[in-house]
Amino acid sequence: MRNFCYILCFLFLFSCAKDTEVFIDENPVENEEKISITTFGGSKNDVLNTVYATKDGGYITAGYTQSNNADITNKADESFNFLVLKFSSENNLEWQQNYGGSKDDSAASIIQTKDGNYVVLGSTSSSDLDVTINNGANDFWLIKIDALGNLLWQKSYGFLGADTGTKVIETNSGGLLITGVLDVSASNGQGNAKTNATKHAGGDYWAIKTDAFGNVEWSRFFGGSFTDTPLGIVETPENQYIIAGSSDSKDFNIKNNKGAYDFWIIKISNTGALIWEKNFGGSEIDEARAITTTNDGNFIVVGDTRSTDKDVQNNNGAADIWVVKFATNGTIIWQKTLGGTNFDVARAIFKTQDNGFLIAGSSRSLDNNFTNNGQNDALLLKINNSGELLWQKTVGGSQIDFLYGITELNNNTIIAVGESSSSDFEIQENKGFADALLIKFKE
């Protein structure tokens, strides 16, 4: 009876407001949790892809907006623009801005730089308004904005094809390293190839080192004849870089494809020279989505796997979250699969102050301690530094709910962002096709 009453109270609290704060209190003394679920958007598609904890104790998040009504302000048309939202430590929206041209622009990665301003990387197909140059179908688009969201400068990088920016970091030297996919065929081998004489088809990892103002210092591309997509970067203490993503190639730079798509990890020098490359995976599809450092000098890469062999020792069914810890030379230290019998995937990882790791993504499973209100539910989980699961939570409605970014604030509050198409259960309102989803959670 006590559990039944608890469930009724829980559902009642979730039905009270759009921006819902829920207290789950099985034991008021030992286990108090607080979660706030917010949707943000207009009548079209609005998605948040990335979130970053800021120096003032708040956070900033970026993605794209197609809407020009409801929560979205200062936008004239229904093309896709970069969307940036800045929140205080109390979770109050301080400002919002959108950037782009009359065609489609989408932000993938945001950071705060040492000077207190922000850098946002994504892609643009525009060549007007905020975007001064476009070299082809799609370019990397890098912008720098000040603490209030005013545009300071912008840069485009690309050639004739569809070049897509995915990740930016500030380097120890004060410049930037940006990565994404280079359309090698359309570029005709431009972009400072692995060997200038070698040209091949497909999309490659493209790494561009810039100074603090976005001016190119060097660029290199790496990959094979098929699709190679970089989605995470870390800098090592030796000022080298490890780039993680996925690949279904098995030629040129890629020597040991395990089957279908693999996690493909490369280490490059501070001048862009390839130091080593490694494939992790099994005979099915394995796709890496994000990477972070560990406190013992190693690295953890996370994504999802459909394999049950080779490097993948276990799979609970369909797709599982796959977590791999590896050493600075690319040797696997341990690997873990997390999930139920349906599709469970990871899109982001963040190292916490207590040396654990937050993972965000989505789940469709209804077993192995996973719950689901509909199609995909937003998924948050935490593992310790040995890869053991500490807790997991799903949030969602009857439609598709997904998380793409996660961080921890100075006060240990967890912020996760993504998108939602639901308007029921734990998601109280949807204004259009997809709304930006923001989850604030305190352990």
DSSP, collapsed to helix, strand or coil, labels residue 423 as coil
Bridge partners of residue 356, in order along the sequence: none
Taking residue 290's Cβ as centre, other Cβ atoms within 10 Å add up to 26
Distance CA 137, CA 18 (A): 39
**56, 404 Cβ separation under 8 angstroms:** no
Domains detected in the chain = 40-442 (2.130.10.10)
- Per-residue pLDDT at 198: 56
The per-residue pLDDT string of the chain (443 residues; one tens digit each, 9 = 90 and over) reads 333 333 333 333 333 333 433 322 222 222 335 899 999 999 999 999 999 999 999 999 999 999 999 999 999 999 999 999 999 999 999 999 999 999 999 999 999 999 999 999 999 999 999 999 999 999 999 999 999 999 999 999 999 999 999 999 999 988 999 999 999 877 776 766 544 445 556 789 999 999 999 999 999 999 999 999 999 999 999 999 999 999 999 999 999 999 999 999 999 999 999 999 999 999 999 999 999 999 999 999 999 999 999 999 999 989 999 999 999 999 999 999 999 999 999 999 999 999 999 999 999 999 998 999 989 999 999 999 999 999 999 999 999 999 999 999 999 999 999 999 999 999 999 999 999 999 999 98
Cα 360 from chain centre: 9
**Radius of gyration for the chain, computed over Cα atoms and rounded to the nearest angstrom:** 21
Among candidate residues 84, 54, 234, the one with its CA nearest the CA of residue 150: 84
| Count of residues making up the chain | 443
Distance CA 112, CA 93 (A): 17
Q: Residue 20 gets which letter from DSSP?
A: E
